[in-house]
Structure 1
Amino acid sequence: MSGAAGQHISVSANQHGAWTGLQGRGTLARARKDRFFTWLAVGCTAVVILPLVAILLYLVLRGASSLSLAFFTQLPRPISQGGGGMANAILGSGEILLIASLLGIPLGIGAGVFLSEYGAGKPIATAVRFTADVLNGVPSIVVGIAAYVLIVLPMKTFSALAGGIALGIMMVPTVTRTTEEMLATVPHSVREAALGLGIPKWRATLSVTLRTASAGIITGCMLAFARVAGETAPLLFTAFGSQFWPRSVVGSTAALPLQIFNYAMSPYPAQRRLAWAGALMLIVLIMTSVSLVRFVANRGTLRGRT
């Protein structure tokens, strides 16, 4: 019996050793896979970030030398006089983007709320989703031509208003679909808790559901804003451009994308340098506005959670 017991113990020890070896090899394989996919994720992140960094550095190298006080305070000058700036284009871009945001963001959020909270099973909700998806894929120049026919021709003048409406239309589908998706992530228990307290559905949607999804909705609004901020084609048919200060929303208005386009096509090196400076200014304005909105939104969300 003692011999059989010893043999059994020896076999068990061998099996345990084999099992331990398999576990060790499995752990090593998992560690290698973990390192591989970690470095793969880091590489993908670098591929995403690298183009933005490269573009920003190139714009700094080409355009930073042309930035000066005159660039931010003076009107464009004829090439024979030299100097000048893009102050009117900066102001005009701000005016046009403000009009676009006032139009596109409320409409987009309203449509997204309807699709998520009130449109379940309704044919009109399917039509709105289809329209938003199609509009999101429409080329910007087509939107500009439509705005030219529907707004510029009846008004008989190019204007910042027409440009703002064209860009606002382009913002609507992105804001709409983002709002719908973000509201869909809010747990139904949150809605049920609000309704259980006797709060009307419209009030619960505004005060509870929208507030819970506010961070994602604001991100969608920023994406839409960043998309239209650099658009040139719609403004060629609507705002048209100007060499003077903006005086009215119903008159021709300068804009940074238009001024960059005109100067980039110029045969004069001085104007091409200003075009690089304008491009740098445009991307800095977009990054600054997006960062400020993100900062304010995060502080507001934190207060709400507290």
Structure 2
Amino acid sequence: MTTTTTAARPASSAPAPADLRRSALPLRRRLTDGFAKGLMVLALLVALVPLGLVIYKVIEAGAGVMSLDFLVDDIPNSARRAGGGMGPAVAGTLIITGAAAAMSIPLGVLGAIYLNEYGKQNALARLIRTMADVMTGVPSVVMGLFVYVSYVLLVKEQSGFAAALALGCLMLPIIIRSTEEMLRLVPDELRQASAALGARRWKTTVSVVLPAAISGIVSGIMLAIARAAGETAPVVLVAGTAFVSNWSLSGDNTTLAAQIFKNAGEFFPAAQGRAWGAALTLMAIVLVFTVAARLISSRFAIKER
């Protein structure tokens, strides 16, 4: 009695389309593929040119005035005066942007969770998406005017809180839409596996869905924070003017973006130097917080094995 030696071969031995080498593809497909890659690389290089020029110019013009004193000294009350610093603007940027983030990030993330995990395509979810899309395109000066009319005139005081409220309204739709898109990219298999283990929906969302999408969520949040930190019109309209540091949300305040706008329009070299220094400081602050947010999010992200 003989045994059959032609056992079933492993499925992995069968050639698969994904295993085909590039050299085995037709010449026309290889040329098309190379041409498309070349166009993408060229587009990337073209996009990097203006970005590189902006970074180079800001560093070149702002490095000359950068020092520890520049970061902590008060703003001169006269544009023609040399010296001084951006201490009040640094403090105002951190306080106002931080308060705006504290208001908008929880609301934005929770709103996105409702839209993607609970609301789906019901009437309320569609209304929220539409309003978020509309708010995304609202100019910042319009949001500043809205806060000025609805809050500043009501309390009869310009303040850092009013500026934080305006910036928070600008950040909210960006966080909602970007977070929802990241949650959509999480495979449904992860949700189904968690549900099969007996986890409730909220537990699945907190322990499975959010960690899987945390990197993309953090990227959207940092884009919103960067936009808020660079906004000028709402701050000029509702925050007032400050020449000394104000570490509270009450009373007049200022930000680096507002000081860039005010000093760049002056004809005096001292004021223009302070504008370039404020621009470099703002870029550095955004970079530091972006790197820190990346490091923190990587701690909670689901690691691929």
Q: What is the TM-score normalised by the length of structure 2?
A: 0.87
Is 1:270 aligned to residue 270 of structure 2? yes
CA distance in 2, matches of 1:184, 1:32: 35
Aligned partner letter, 2:151? I
Whether the 8 Å contact between 2:145 and 2:237 is mirrored in structure 1 is yes
Instruction: Provide the residue aligned with 1:49 in structure 2.
Output: 48
Give the aligned residue type for 2:56: L
Shift of 1:31: 3.6
Match of 1:60 in 2: 59
Q: Quote the Cα distance in structure 1 between the aligned partners of 2:107 and 2:152.
A: 22
1:118 Cα offset (Å): 0.8
User: What one-letter code is carried by the residue in structure 2 that aligns with 1:105?
Assistant: I
> Match of 1:15?
none
The aligned residue for residue 108 of structure 1 is 108
Task: Check whether the contact 1:101–1:168 (CA below 8 A) recurs between aligned residues.
Answer: yes
- Distance of 2:255 and 2:229 partners within structure 1: 10
Name the CA distance, whole Å, in 1 between partners of 2:124 and 2:98: 30
Q: In structure 2, what is the equivalent of residue 176 of structure 1?
A: 176
**Corresponding position of 2:82:** 82
Instruction: Kindly indicate which of the two structures has a greater share of residues assigned to helix.
Output: 1
Structure 2: which 5+ residue stretches go unaligned? 1-22
Q: 1:243 maps to which residue?
A: 243
* Unmatched 5+ stretches in structure 1: 1-23
Opposite residue 44 of structure 1, the aligned amino acid is A
Larger Rg: 1
Paired residue secondary structure (1:213): helix
2 CA distance for matches of 1:142 and 1:293? 30
* 1:68 shift after superposition: 2.0
Assess if the C-alpha contact under 8 Å between 1:241 and 1:255 holds in 2. Answer: no
Tell me the residue number matched to 1:290: 290
Q: In structure 2, what is the equivalent of residue 206 of structure 1?
A: 206
Percentage of identical aligned residues? 36
Shift of 1:80: 6.2
In angstroms, what is the RMSD of aligned CA positions?
1.9
Alignment partner of 1:107: what SS?
helix
Matches within 5 A, 1:147-226: 147-226=147-226
SS in 2 for 1:65: coil
TM-score, structure 1 length as denominator? 0.87
d(CA) in 2 for partners of 1:126, 1:65:
51
**Deviation of residue 260 (structure 1)?**
1.1
Q: 3-state SS of the aligned residue for 1:76? A: coil
Residue matched to 1:260: 260
Q: What are the Cα deviations for residues 201-257 of structure 1, in whole angstroms up to 9, with x where unaligned?
A: 112111211121111111111111111110000111211221111053111112111
Conserved in 1, the CA contact under 8 Å of 2:87 and 2:244? no
Aligned residues: 282
